Amino acid sequence: MSSTPLMDPKVRETIMADPAVLLDDKDIMRVLVAANERAMGPNVVDLRGIAMDRLEKRLDRLEDTHRSVIAAAYDNVAGTAQIHRAVLRLLEPERFETFLRDLGGEVMSILRVDSIRLVIETDHTDDEDGIERLESVLVTEPRGFVDAYLRAGSPLPARPVILRPVDLDTLHGDRIESEACLRLDLGEDVGLLVLGSEDPRQFQPQHGTDLLAFFAAVVERALRRWLG
């Protein structure tokens, strides 16, 4: 065997000075391990190599899980800040008309939705008490409408917030693909706040609803000031 180095002298000096460079490079280590297995021949089973390969796959899975947890935590923080901004905006108006305008304007922009409908059940569908009715946001419906809308042909869900894809018969326009339905307890009456999105993935049944439930509670308390 020749003692003359086959490797470039500069590369060899770099590796000799800091061998950790090779150990930290997964691609190089994978090639070296494969070369070692070929050198041992087909009749030798390298149990250490098999164990290392399994550990490497497990590490990759752990890294993927770690990234998913970090992404979920980031989304949760961003969603919380988003809801807080919307809540602060809804606490500012002193008149019902201003509340409705903010709900269908800046609040809708903050929540990044494409449609908002506030449904109030009443025995009358005409304007009352001089309140300016804003057709794009406020919808008055006969009593029983809210539970019927939430039921949508199925047993009435017990949850105060329902996330679902949009069917043809909805409170929105034709472009809305998913919606969040927030049932409002207004004392003797019930109401409904419906958030619609053109993205079918924005409101899906498996998503969490804690933040939206908190938002619904704030809307309830704001409405009771005018509708109580």
Question: Residue 197: what pLDDT?
Answer: 92
On whether the CB atoms of residues 178 and 164 are closer than 8 A, the answer is yes
pLDDT digits (tens, 9 = 90+) for 128-176: 443 444 457 888 888 888 888 888 766 666 678 999 998 766 788 778 8
pLDDT digits (tens, 9 = 90+) for 77-90: 777 888 999 999 98
Question: Residue 226: what pLDDT?
Answer: 80
Question: Residue 46: what pLDDT?
Answer: 60
Task: Return d(Cα 132, Cα 97) in angstroms, integer.
Answer: 6
Mean pLDDT along residues 180-191: 88
Q: Which residue has the higher pLDDT, 86 or 39?
A: 86
Topology (CATH level 3) of domain 84-227: Beta-Lactamase (3.30.450)
Question: Residue 73: what pLDDT?
Answer: 64
pTM for the model? 0.65
Question: Residue 48: what pLDDT?
Answer: 65
Grouping H, G, I as helix, E, B as strand and the rest as coil, residue 165 is: strand
